[in-house]
C-alpha cells in the first residue's frame, strides 16, 4: 500500500507531449467501472438528482415508502434490512419498492447509479416473492460478470440472514450441478451464459416456473458480446405472470430498445440527464504556451478555491510528471491510472473520498458515477478527444460532472495550448450551449472571477 505514495523527483524531465499515445489509458470497460463503483460505495449515497416516474396507468396513485415498516415486510426480512444498516429508504427505494412489492406484481425499468440502494431494493423484492415451501428456483437474477453476480449474492445473503429456509445458488463459472439432477434452491444469481446452459441446455431448472426475473446492469450486458441474445432467449421461456425487473445506469436508446423487448407494461423510474448539472459548474479556458504555464495555472486557481481537485491528463506520463511537481509543492496528491490493479485504485479513491488526498491526477480510468461531495475544481490538463481527434463530448461531460454534484457549485478549467485545442473548446461550448469563458490567471481579482462568474 505504501508503494502508492508518490515520491518527488526534483530533476524529473518534461514529459513527452500528450499527443504521443504510447501510454494513453483506455476508458474502463462498463463492467470494470461498475464493479469499482460497487466496491467503493460501501455506504449509501443520497442522490440529489431528480427522479421521474412513468406509470403504465398515469391515473393510478403514486405510492412512496417513507419507512421500511410502510412496506409490510415479513419481520425476518425487516430485521435483515436493519442489520444491513438501512434506517430509512433511499430515494430510489422509496419510489421503487411499493411497485416491486405490489400485488399483483408489476414490472419495472429503473435507471439508478451504484450506491443508491438499488441492489438492496430488488434483492428485497426477490426475497419477498419466494415461497420456501416450493423447492425449485422461483427467482433468476442475472448480472453481466462473475464479480457483479457475487456482489449481488452477498447482498442477498446478508438480507436473508434471518431467513435460513431461503436457499440461494450461484450460476457462475466454477459452479457445477450434477447431470440429470434438478436445482432445489429458491433463488439463482448468476451470469447469462451459465444460466442459459443450466436452464435450456441441461434443464436443471424450469424458466416457466419463475416468479421473478431480474436483469441488473443492463447497459453493461449490452456492451458484452452475446449477453443480450442470451437474456432474450431465456425471456421467451418465462410465464406471462413472471415479474420482470430491469436495471440500468444509463437510459440510452440501445438500452431502452432492449428493455422494450424484455419488459412488458413497465413502471419506469429514470434520472434526469447529467447535462442539468452543468448549470452548477462555471466553465473557463486558459491560454497556455507550455507545460509550465499549465502547471502555474493549476497552482493559481487551486489557491483560490477550497475543497478538492481532480485533474484529467491524456497520458500516464503527463499524469506522473504533474503529480510529482504538485507533490514537490507540498500538496497531497495521488495518481489514478490504468496500470494499477482494482485494489490499488480503490485504495486511492477511498483516500480521496475520505479527504486524505486533496488533488487526484488521473487519466481516462476515472469511472463514471464516482462522486465526491467536496470536489470544487476539475481541470482538463488536456481536452478529451475521440480516436479521430474530434471533441469527445461524452467524456467532457463525465469529467467536469465530477464537480457541481449534490447541488453545490463547481469550477471547470480547460487548458488551451494551440489552435487545435481552441477549436475543441469551441466545439464543446457549442455542443452543450453553455459558455466557456476566458480566464486570465494573472488577474488581480482571480478569486472573485472564479467564484462569482455565472
pLDDT in tens, the chain (454 residues): 222 322 333 334 455 444 455 578 776 676 666 666 665 555 444 444 555 677 665 555 556 788 999 898 999 999 999 998 888 888 888 889 999 999 999 999 998 765 567 889 999 999 999 999 999 999 999 999 898 899 899 999 999 999 999 999 999 999 999 999 999 999 999 999 999 999 999 999 999 999 999 999 898 888 788 999 999 999 999 999 999 999 987 778 898 899 999 999 999 988 665 555 678 899 999 999 999 999 999 999 888 888 899 999 989 999 999 999 999 999 999 999 888 887 888 888 889 988 999 999 998 777 555 666 678 899 999 999 988 899 988 889 888 888 876 667 889 999 999 999 999 999 999 998 899 999 998 888 888 888 764 3
Name the domain boundary from 214, 240, 271. 271
95 and 229 share one domain: yes
Owner of C-alpha cell 499515445: 21
Beta strand residue intervals within 46-186, DSSP E: 51-54, 108-111, 139-142, 168-171
At residue 212, φ and ψ (nearest 5 deg) are -140, 135
259 and 291 share one domain: no
11 and 60 share one domain: no
145 and 225 share one domain: yes
222 and 304 share one domain: no
Residue 74 included in any domain: yes
289 and 180 share one domain: no
Domain containing residue 6: CATH number? 3.40.50.300
24 and 59 share one domain: no
Owner of C-alpha cell 434490512: 81
337 and 389 share one domain: yes
281 and 264 share one domain: no
In whole angstroms, what is the distance from residue 412 CA to residue 279 CA?
A: 12
Name the domain boundary from 224, 243, 271. 271
DSSP string, 12-38: PPPPPPTT-GGGPPPPPPHHHHHHHHH
Name the domain boundary from 271, 305, 320. 271
pLDDT of residue 398: 80
Number of domains in the chain: 2
In whole angstroms, what is the distance from residue 67 CA to residue 87 CA?
A: 8
Give the residue among 55, 221, 233, 69 at the shortest CA–CA distance from 143: 221
pLDDT of residue 328: 93
In whole angstroms, what is the distance from residue 377 CA to residue 375 CA?
A: 6
218 and 86 share one domain: yes
pLDDT of residue 8: 31
Which residues span the domain enclosing 335? Answer: 2-36+275-452
Residue 438: Cβ-neighbour burial (10 angstroms; 0-12, 13-18, 19+): exposed
SS3 percent helix, strand, coil of the chain, rounded to 5, is 40, 15, 45
Residue 356 included in any domain: yes
Write the Ramachandran bin of 85: left for phi over 0, alpha for psi from -120 to 50, otherwise beta.
left
Strand ranges across the sheet with 308-312: 333-336, 359-362, 308-312, 375-380, 410-416, 281-287, 436-438
Give the residue among 314, 270, 236 at the shortest CA–CA distance from 16: 314
- Beta-carbon count within 10 A of 7 CB: 7
Hey, is 308 helix, strand or coil?
Answer: strand
Amino acid at each position: 500500500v505504501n508503494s502508492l505514495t508518490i515520491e518527488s523527483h526534483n530533476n524529473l524531465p518534461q514529459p513527452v507531449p500528450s499527443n504521443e499515445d504510447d501510454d494513453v489509458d483506455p476508458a474502463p470497460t462498463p463492467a470494470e467501472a461498475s464493479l469499482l463503483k460497487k466496491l467503493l460505495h460501501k455506504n449509501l449515497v443520497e442522490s440529489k438528482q431528480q427522479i421521474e416516474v412513468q406509470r403504465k396507468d398515469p391515473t393510478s396513485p403514486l405510492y412512496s415508502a417513507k419507512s421500511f415498516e410502510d412496506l409490510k415486510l415479513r419481520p425476518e426480512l425487516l430485521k435483515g434490512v436493519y442489520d444491513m444498516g438501512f434506517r430509512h429508504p433511499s430515494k430510489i427505494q422509496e419510489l421503487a419498492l411499493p411497485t416491486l412489492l405490489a400485488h399483483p406484481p408489476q414490472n419495472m425499468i429503473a435507471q439508478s447509479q451504484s450506491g443508491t440502494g438499488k441492489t438492496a431494493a430488488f434483492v428485497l423484492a426477490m426475497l419477498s416473492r419466494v415461497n420456501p415451501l416450493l423447492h425449485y428456483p422461483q427467482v433468476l437474477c442475472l448480472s453481466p460478470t462473475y464479480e457483479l453476480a457475487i456482489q449481488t449474492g452477498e447482498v442477498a445473503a446478508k438480507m436473508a440472514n434471518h431467513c435460513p429456509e431461503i436457499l440461494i445458488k450461484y450460476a457462475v463459472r466454477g459452479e457445477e450441478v450434477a447431470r440429470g439432477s434438478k436445482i432445489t434452491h429458491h433463488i439463482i444469481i448468476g451470469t447469462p451464459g451459465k444460466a442459459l446452459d443450466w436452464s435450456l441446455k441441461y434443464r436443471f431448472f424450469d424458466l416457466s416456473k419463475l416468479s421473478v426475473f431480474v436483469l441488473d446492469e443492463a447497459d453493461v450486458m449490452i456492451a458484452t458480446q452475446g449477453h443480450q441474445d442470451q437474456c432474450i432467449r431465456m425471456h421467451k421461456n418465462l410465464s406471462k405472470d413472471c415479474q420482470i425487473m430491469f436495471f440500468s445506469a444509463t437510459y440510452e436508446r440501445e438500452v431502452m430498445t432492449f428493455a422494450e423487448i424484455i419488459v412488458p407494461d413497465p413502471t419506469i423510474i429514470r434520472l434526469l440527464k447529467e447535462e442539468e448539472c452543468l448549470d452548477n459548474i462555471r466553465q473557463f479556458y486558459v491560454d497556455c504556451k507550455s507545460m509550465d504555464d499549465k502547471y502555474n495555472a493549476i497552482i493559481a486557481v487551486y489557491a483560490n478555491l477550497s475543497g478538492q481537485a481532480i485533474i484529467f491528463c491524456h497520458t500516464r506520463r503527463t499524469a506522473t510528471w504533474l503529480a510529482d511537481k504538485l507533490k514537490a509543492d507540498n500538496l497531497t496528491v495521488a495518481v489514478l491510472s490504468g496500470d494499477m490493479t482494482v485494489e490499488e485504485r480503490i485504495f486511492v479513491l477511498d483516500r480521496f473520498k475520505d479527504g486524505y488526498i486533496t488533488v487526484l491526477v488521473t487519466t481516462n480510468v476515472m469511472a463514471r458515477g464516482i462522486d465526491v461531495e467536496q470536489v470544487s475544481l476539475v481541470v482538463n490538463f488536456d481536452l478529451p478527444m475521440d480516436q479521430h481527434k474530434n471533441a469527445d463530448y461524452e467524456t467532457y461531460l463525465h469529467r467536469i460532472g465530477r464537480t457541481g454534484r449534490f447541488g453545490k457549485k463547481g469550477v471547470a478549467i480547460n487548458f488551451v495550448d494551440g489552435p487545435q485545442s481552441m477549436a475543441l473548446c469551441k466545439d464543446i461550448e457549442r455542443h452543450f450551449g453553455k459558455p466557456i469563458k476566458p480566464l486570465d490567471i494573472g488577474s488581480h481579482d482571480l478569486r472573485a472571477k472564479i467564484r462569482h462568474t455565472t
